[in-house]
Structure formats: C-alpha cells, structure tokens
Amino acid sequence: MSLARSGGQSGFPERRPGVSLRPLAFAAALPLVAGCSSGPIETSTDATSWVGTITTEGDVTTVVNQSGSIWGGPVALAEVLSIGQESGAEPYLFGAVRAVGATEERIYVLDLQVSMVRVYDQTGAHLFDVGGRGQGPGDFNGAMSIAVDPAGRLLVQDRTRVSVFDLDGNFIETWPYIAGGVVPLVARLDGGAFVSSGFAPEGQSLAPWVAVAPDGSEERRIAGPEFDPSPWYMIASSGGRERGMVVPHGPDPMVGAMPTGAIVRGTSDTYSFEIEYPDGSNTIVEKPGDRVPVSEEERDWLVRNRTAVMRRTQPDWSWDANPVPAFRPAFDAFFGDRFGRIWVHRSVGVEVRSDCGDPAAVDERPPPRSCWDDRWGFDVFEEESGRLLGQVALPPGYQASGWPALLADDIVVVVEDEAGTTMIKRYRLVLPGER
C-alpha cells in the first residue's frame, strides 16, 4: 500500500491535502480540521490510534498530539538499495555527501569532496556525473545543496548561484543567488523553489531562504521565529582575539520550507511549531513530553570541555551563559515532501561510547570525543491537519550531515558503516500493519 498519493504539479493557491495515510483514517479526520470550534475536540476512532485535541480560533488552529499516531505505531525500514564501497571504482567511493535527491528511477548524490553530483539508477549503477569545480556555466563554486523538482529539473546551489539542469544533466540556466547559510535547497510543487539567502529582511536577524519563481526571479524572503540568542552564547577574548561558542543542547530558532509552499517555524526548547500555509492560515502543532534527557555525566563532561576550549583564548574565563539544559532540543530540522508531510528531524535516544576522551585534552589532535552519540529519527506529521502520522527511527550509522531524499514510500539517507565507509541507502517505509 502506498503511504502517499502524488499531488498535481500545478500552482496551489490554498493548502494541499497531500493524503499520506490510510483512506479510512483520513475520512474520519476530515470533520476535525474543516470546521471551527470554541473548545478542543478530542478524538480516538477505530480507524486510527491517534488521540489529541484540535482547537480553532479564527485563522489559527492548535493541534495537540497527546498519544498514538495515524499510522498506528513506529514505521520500520526495509533496505532496498545500497550504493558505496570501501575501495573500487571512483563513482562508488563517497567523500563528504551533503545531500541526496531522488526520483523513483534515479538517485542524485552531491559529494562535496569532488564538487559534483553523481547519478545512479534504481539498481545502484552509476550513470553519469553533473558539474564539477569551476566558474563556467554548469560548473560549481563550492556546491552546497541539491533538489529535484516535480517539473523534471535538477537544482544545484553553490556559494554564488543556483544552476538548473534537466534530469539527464544538461545545463539549462543560472539563478544568481548568493548563499547565506547551509540550508537545504527546496523544490516547490509549482516549479519555484526556496534557495539559501544571503540577506535578512529589514529588522529581522534570520532569513535562511528566499522564495523564487519558476524562472528564478525573487518572490519574497523567509525569516525564522523571533529569538534572543544572547543567554545561550559564550564569548572569550584576550589580546584582540575572540572565540564564541553556543551552549551545548541549547535552543535554536528553526525554520523549514515545504515543497507545498508552507513555512514551518519553531524554537527547539519546546516541542511546538507553527505551520504557515500559502493561504495565510496557521496551525500550531504541539507534542508534549517527548524529549531526550541529558544525563548529569554528559552535562559535566560538556561543561569541562567547553571551559577548557574557552580558556585557550582567555585563561580566566568562567561560564557566564545559561547552563547546559537537562533535555536535548525537541528537534533540529524540518524537512518536507511533495506528498503533504512534515518530517521533524530529532534526537530519539543516546548511545554511550567507550572510546571517548578526556574533556580537558583540547590540545590533542583529534580533539577529545564525547561519550554520548545521538540516535536520530523523524516524527512525521500531516501538513494539512498537524496530526502525527508516525515515527521513523533512522538506521545505525546514519549521518545527519547528509540531507535525505523523501519519496512517497521510500527514504534515501547517508549511512556510514563501522569501517567508516560512506554509503547511500534507500529504504522502504513499512507500516505496522504491513509487517
């Protein structure tokens, strides 16, 4: 059974339903999101195990995901393809994969080490490469992100522009946008895109994206939520030198751009985010009580480590910012797919390592490694209703530094094995009732 129904490829003046759950469950849920109410509506039906409240006031709907999910439990991953090896032909030796894109037939891999996009078929066979280092048309000056759009184009953003290709790697045109940060390039359903922005709107400090039309012309700039970082920022200075660091596990303002045109904003110290739809309405999504603790041992290690780092610049430095929080951030990124789903990337647990180092040994090379590694996963929400669809635990060795590709029933991610070999793996999403 497909987890999602493909939407049309035309423009979208209002929200797109993006069905991504069992049809009976969706039909039962429609009355809850269509009308307004003066108080919360609570639901638990035979068609879904989701329990929560939905309250609408004016153009703002608040959805509290109390327990359960539409899909009825965690989603399993079934590996269907692995690309990459420790030695052999160069196209299968990955260096630093920043992002992957995918269609049902092909996988596109941006490897920063070679500054090109490698392209593979559905069996994992290498087909061809796109781009390479250079300044000319179709070349990349520090490639940063890629996206495959519904119109059949490959978009590649580097430091100074977005290069547009067809899916066979033929260069089409250039959009001259200077990258302002490392954020995923997002292809929209209407043929436009959200690209990294180098400028903030007047009076705003954060503008990771600019919305562009299908021809590459600027439409508007996208800012994140208001946030004062100063209580979470540490500065050491001495003799004209300055070092700045943020408090580990401290909150961050997050903003995500969705292929549907929706914008998702939230601050990671609480599991709450707001969906701003293209029609101007908003949904606030909450998921109480689901954060991973930071142990006292880890907090102590982090304090000693950061203090040692800062005292390399300022010998008498002392901690003057907020303390390390007792919980990990609620989330650290928002991704979207063209099927009306929001994928909330977050820590879902911690693994304790045995090969960690002395936190004060900051002069060693490599520097001391923490004893605590995050285990990563996605909480998947329906964009239209804000309800939790299900949770996906990512595989061992998953590399959070490589942005995934999200298809109707599959996910393509970057994984590193125990020998340190980087691989691109494609997994089928398997619902609880299908195992």
Distance of CA 278 to CAs 107, 220, 260, 263, Å? 30, 12, 8, 8
* Length of the chain as a residue count: 435
The whole-number pLDDT of residue 355 equals: 83
How do 186-187 and 41-45 pair as beta strands? Answer: unpaired
Distance of CA 3 to CAs 40, 380, 408, Å? 28, 12, 6
Give the predicted TM-score (pTM) of the model: 0.88
The whole-number pLDDT of residue 2 equals: 54
**Which amino acid is located at 300 in the chain?**
D
Helix (H, G, I), strand (E, B) or coil at 217: coil
Give me 340's structure tokens: 């009306």
* Cβ contact 241:250 at 8 Å: no
Other Cβ atoms within 10 Å of 364 Cβ, number:
10
Work out the pLDDT band at 272, boundaries 50, 70, 90. Answer: very high
The whole-number pLDDT of residue 201 equals: 47
Give me 96's structure tokens: 């630093």
Helix (H, G, I), strand (E, B) or coil at 230: helix
Q: Is the per-residue pLDDT at 59 higher than 60?
A: yes
Q: What CATH number labels 46-434?
A: 2.120.10.30
Q: Is the per-residue pLDDT at 200 higher than 80?
A: no
The whole-number pLDDT of residue 182 equals: 77
Work out the pLDDT band at 3, boundaries 50, 70, 90. Answer: low
Distance of CA 168 to CAs 105, 152, 187, Å? 12, 9, 17
304: left (phi over 0), alpha (psi -120 to 50) or beta: alpha
Work out the pLDDT band at 46, boundaries 50, 70, 90. Answer: very low
Distance from C-alpha of 406 to C-alpha of 428, rounded to nearest angstrom: 11
Phi, psi torsion values for 260, nearest 5 degrees: -75, -10
Q: Is the per-residue pLDDT at 426 higher than 60?
A: yes
